[in-house]
Structure 1
Amino acid sequence: MKSLIILLCMAGLNVSCHEAKTTSATKDDHMKIDTATFNAIYDRFQEPALRHRRFKHHEVDSLIKEHEKRGQLGIQQIGRSFEGRAIYEVTFGKGSKKVMMWSQMHGDEPTATMALFDLFNFLGSKGDEYDNIRSLLKENLEIHFIPMLNPDGAERFQRRTAQGIDMNRDARAGQTAEGALLRARAKAIAPQYGFNLHDQSIYYNVPNTKNPVGIALLAPAYNESREINPVRENAMKLAAGMNEILQQYIPNAVAKYDDTYTPRGFGDNFQSWDASTVLIESGGMKGDPEKQQIRKLNFIIILNALIQIAEDSYARFDKKQYEEIPFNVSQMHDIVIRNIEIGPDSTTFKTDLAIRRGETTVGRDYYVRGRVEDIGDLKESFGYEEIEAEGLKFIGGKVDYTNYLNAASLSQEQAFELLKKGIMAVRVKEEVLKEKALHDLPIHLFTQSTFYLPMSPDFGGMASFYIGDRNGNLKYAILNGYLIDLTKDFDRNIPIKNRVH
């Protein structure tokens, strides 16, 4: 360890360097990499081919083959999915501690898969100032990665396999080709450590705060009584180490996932198979619809955890530090509007509205449907965006049935000008549906003979309306679940994902 620290100092790494007094990992002799260094590593090795969540198996397959050509990582096809897509295992290191991690067993949970390819770029490089980190991992660990375990689900961007089975409930029976493969690899490798990599709903928040949970962690239970044996305790310590660095990036935005024992779940079973297993759930962050910032956090906490396993330095954490992490609660929405007036003057009432956007996948793209998620007293609810609407009222939008011959070439600014005039939907020619089925305009486009906009909020109904004062002056548009401030210039950074109706 002393020689390792000296090497790090000579290499110029931004680490805390001191002379080690003991080789015990419980002493303060471990590698300390600060956030600036982690940021620099990530920026250099981020995989540029993966920028959006809906990448397909052929893209992953192509990247795997590139790493195979470079020859720095072990590459092995270990099986095929139900529909015949190749599933790969990537290996690194020759040490005695075996680590196994798998991503995207749910096909619509791709964030960690992107982070693993960033990590492959880092581990598969050499000849730079980070070689001592790679050497530490290579000499102490034998890491087995299985990226995109559910390629059939990923192809459709759906949670379940092509068989319609939730693979994360198939650890016991092994009814899916992919679940049976993961069980077989676990038996063959017999890892001491496991990482189960997922995405969770973006609508979880830290209790009693409006902070969305960026990352949720869990040391899964291995039995129904959720006892803590040494295997699970080590997982808790690893999670505590992850939380320590996460607090430097997303303070008060980390939570624990529900630890109810699931006898069919892979994380619970890996824990019972004597692999100290941590579940990492990628959540939500404002302004990060493609989860690129959360992808970076995955890369950092996984790399940091691997270093701590290599050194045994995770042992310095206490299970109490893990237990102090709060559990997820689901109180988040895309928009919360408070104290808005509803109805005509004679029957006006005041209430709160919560709005969420649901995604529908179309190939590599998607569109959303904004809906009214809740109506009523929502003091305990929070929004990524919130409006205090005291003194403001719900105003229905107008529909323009004029056929816009040039609607396919409408700019966002032109659509915004229509929106400011109270026009929320315009009819277009049928050919526009072919040319521009999906669009990013701040207005609804439709081809049918009629199009209805809500004149009052309807639970579960369309979230497209205005908020204005009692004189009818429009302040905000809620367009398909997106908040647009009509008193300001149009914000082109609003990631509107709409479709022609």
Structure 2
Amino acid sequence: MKHLLLAALFLYSCSVICQTDNITSQLYDTYENYKEGSIGKRRIKRADIQPLIDNFTANDKFKVQTVGKSIGGKKLSLISIGSGETNVFLWSQMHGDEPTATQAIFDILNFFDSADFKKEKEAIFANLTIHFLPMLNPDGAELFQRRNLLGIDINRDALRLQSPESKTLKRVRDSLNADFGFNLHDQSTYYNAERTEKPATISYLAPAYNYEKDINETRGNAMKIIVFMNDILQKYAPGQVGRYNDDFEPRAFGDNIQKWGTSTILIESGGYPNDIEKQEIRKLNYTSILSAIYTIAKKSYETIAIEKYEEIPENDRKLFDLKITGASYNLMGNTYVLDLGINQIEVDYPDHNSFWYSSRILDQGDLSTYYGYETLDATGYTIKQAKVYPRTLNSFEEVKALNFNDILKQGFGYVRLSMFPAKRINSPFPVHLIGAKYNVPELNLSPGINPTFFLEKNGVTEYAVINGFLVNLKKTDINVPNSMIFR
């Protein structure tokens, strides 16, 4: 009889999990039906989401409350749906430059507002009440910066509660006495899954609530949900999930919210190849969070083994945008072999609505334990200094008329201009622009410099690196978003 009971429980568990897997596939496949198209770029502002919040305010399915204001006076809104006894609380963008989950929240709200998946949503809303606090740090979002206007990291203000944003988060969590909490962030795109070349597209953490890293039921449930979400993501981003170190941080909200009795799941959105605006990662957030909400409603997570949490690879930070290996470099009459790790660093325009690139060499030497989103084996190639084009041009129009394929094949990486538009801060061409009196320094490879040089083999220039972007000169396409201006 005991064996029959165990078999029945096993079959029930498999049935629930298989149902969830099927729902997950449907969620992923139908995502475009619910994606909020008005916020398709990372540098979103409070003004961009206000019309969306207004729409939900006018919708009887949702309850919308102003629960606080930022230091700069911007509203903090809580959007709730459902009537169940279990409270699920999701908050995003406590760091102003981490918007991916904010976008996903509005996709999820659009899904909840639709007539689709009726049976699943009935189960969700009958068992759960779900609360969303998107963009906790709207002042930081306005400037696309991590910290708030007080200059503090909100995620290190859980004890002193100095900023109004921190006070709001604590007050809302306490008023809900939330059973589950989703702490939604972005992380650097340079994290990778430990000892692999794959980016940590999504990373998880069930924060510790004490220095001993004890696991009680609250934290254990968070671990189970993370195992469940990891299994989902392996289907769409195999090997691209990481796990944060769980050392206790007594000032952090995640650690304290776990301590206060809410099963807390930290989600960090990292990097994904060719996804600069993180829209594929946004889709993965949408799919995995909605699937997690469903498994919480059905309580199917309860049968998941906590031990599988430790099987998720730890986060590492060993990715470059471009890695060049084995290149020969001549210095002071001697030839050396170098690997180069290059990052294409974003610099905001003054309005913080878009950005340009000012790339840097991050490291050089033996980088055999590091990886790249793009990697070139430069064995047999020699690094050569970029030359200045022999004619001084008078306007951007003259530069635009150049044949850049020919220019680069001849080893020219700089073009001299007699004058520049006053407001222009970078070159829109795949060559650097220099002023009439600017002297290009001798190439001396070192961390911190702008990576611009050529790679030559058997006397033929085959590759250019311009502002950290690799150009294959055997092909016709040139993908250099911008270069630099040196006046």
Do the aligned partners of 1:433 and 1:447 also contact (CA within 8 Å) in 2? no
Distance 2:15 2:149 in 1: 49
- The residue aligned with 2:5 is none
Q: Deviations over 1:222-244 (max 9, x none)?
A: 10110111110000000000000
Aligned to 1:445: 433
Q: Give the match's secondary structure for 2:103.
A: helix
Partner letter of residue 294 of structure 2? I
CA distance in 1, matches of 2:98, 2:211: 27
* Residue 287 of structure 2 corresponds to residue 297 of structure 1: no
Q: 2:212 is matched with which residue? A: 225
Deviation at 1:246, TM superposition (A): 0.4
1:318 match: 305
Aligned pairs for 1:112-151 within 5 A:
112-126=101-115, 128=116, 130-151=117-138
Could you say which residue in structure 2 is the equivalent of 1:54? 43
Does 2:446 match 1:458?
Answer: yes
The one-character-per-residue Cα deviations of 1:56-87 (angstroms, maximum 9, x if unpaired) are: 11101122112223443221111110011111
Q: Deviations over 1:104-135 (max 9, x none)?
A: 00001111111111111111222x3x122222
Contact 1:340 1:350 in 2 (8 A): yes
1:307 is paired with a residue of what secondary structure? Answer: helix
Matched residue, 1:86: 75
Consecutive unaligned residues in structure 2, runs of 5 or more: 1-7
Q: CA distance change for structure 1 residues 356 and 228 in 2, over 3 Å: closer, same or farther?
A: same
| Aligned: 1:182 with 2:176 | no
1:394 aligns with 2:383: yes
3-state SS of paired residue (1:337)? strand
Contact 1:399/1:451 (<8 A) preserved: no
Q: How far did 1:498 drift?
A: 4.4
1:356-376 CA-partner distances (Å, limit 9, x unpaired):
122211121111221111111
Summarize the Cα distance change of 1:482–1:237 in structure 2 as closer, same or farther, 3 Å threshold: same
Seq. identity, %? 37
Under a length normalisation based on structure 1, what TM-score does the superposition of the two structures give? 0.90
Contact 1:332 1:382 in 2 (8 A): yes
TM-fit CA distance, 1:416? 4.2
Matched residues in 2 for 1:351 and 1:272: separation?
Answer: 48
Asked whether the equivalents of residues 393 and 417 of structure 2 are also in contact (C-alpha less than 8 Å), the reply is: yes
CA gap 1:122/1:458 in 2 versus in 1, 3 angstroms: same
Q: Pairwise mapping of residues 256-275 of structure 1 onto structure 2 (< 5 A)? A: 256-275=243-262
Distance 1:412 1:163, change over 3 A: farther
> Counterparts of 1:242-257 in structure 2 under 5 Å?
242-257=229-244
Q: 2:227 aligns to what?
A: 240
Return 5+ residue gaps in structure 1 as ranges: 1-20
Judged with a 3 Å threshold, the aligned counterparts in structure 2 of structure 1 residues 470 and 29 are, in CA distance, closer, same or farther, namely: closer
Aligned to 1:193: 180
The alpha-carbon distance between structure 1 residues 454 and 285, as it changes in their structure 2 partners (threshold 3 A), is farther
- Alpha carbons 1:22, 1:29 under 8 Å: kept: no
CA distance in 1, matches of 2:58, 2:411: 58
**Aligned partners of 2:9 and 2:375: how far apart in 1?**
53
440 and 303 in structure 1: CA distance in 2 versus 1, 3 angstrom threshold? farther
1:210 to 197, 203, 207: 197
Of residues 349, 373, 379, the one that matches 1:384 is 373
RMSD value, Cα: 2.3
Q: Which of 379, 383, 407 is the aligned partner of 1:418? A: 407
Looking at structure 1, the residues matched to 69 and 463 of structure 2 have their Cα atoms a distance apart, in angstroms, of: 51
Deviations 1:458-490 (A, max 9, x none): 22111111111141x211111111111111121
Give the Å deviation of 1:409.
7.8
The code of the aligned residue for 1:427 comes to R
Residue aligning to 2:3: none
Write the distance in 2 (CA, Å) between the matches of 1:417 and 1:139. Answer: 66
1:31-55 deviation per Cα after TM superposition (whole angstroms, max 9, x unaligned) = 3343541223311101111111111
Residues 344, 181 of structure 1: alpha-carbon distance in 2 compared, 3 angstrom cutoff: closer
Q: How many residues align?
A: 476
How far apart, CA to CA, are the structure 2 residues paired with 1:497 and 1:108? 22
Residue 351 in structure 1 maps to residue 338 in structure 2: yes
SS at match of 1:222: coil
Matched residue type, 1:444: H
SS in 2 for 1:404: coil
Deviation of 1:26 after TM superposition, in Å, equals 4.5
The CA distance in 2 between the partners of 1:335 and 1:42, in whole Å, is 31
> In structure 2, how many angstroms separate the alpha carbons of the residues matched to 1:422 and 1:187?
63
Whole-angstrom CA distance in 2 between matches of 1:319 and 1:454: 57
User: In 2, are the aligned partners of 1:25 and 1:312 still within 8 Å (CA)?
Assistant: no
Partner Cα separation in structure 2 for residue 454 and residue 180 of structure 1: 54
**CA deviation profile, 1:15-42 (whole Å, cap 9, x unmatched):** xxxxxx7799746335334354122331
Could you tell me which amino acid in structure 1 is paired with residue 444 of structure 2? S
Instruction: Choose which of 38, 55, 64 in structure 1 pairs with 2:27.
Output: 38
- Does the aligned pair in 2 maintain the 1:412–1:442 contact within 8 Å? no
Residues 89, 422 of structure 1: alpha-carbon distance in 2 compared, 3 angstrom cutoff: same
Compared CA separation, residues 396 and 89, structure 1 to 2 (3 A) = same
Distance 2:226 2:331 in 1: 54
- Give 2:457's aligned residue: 469
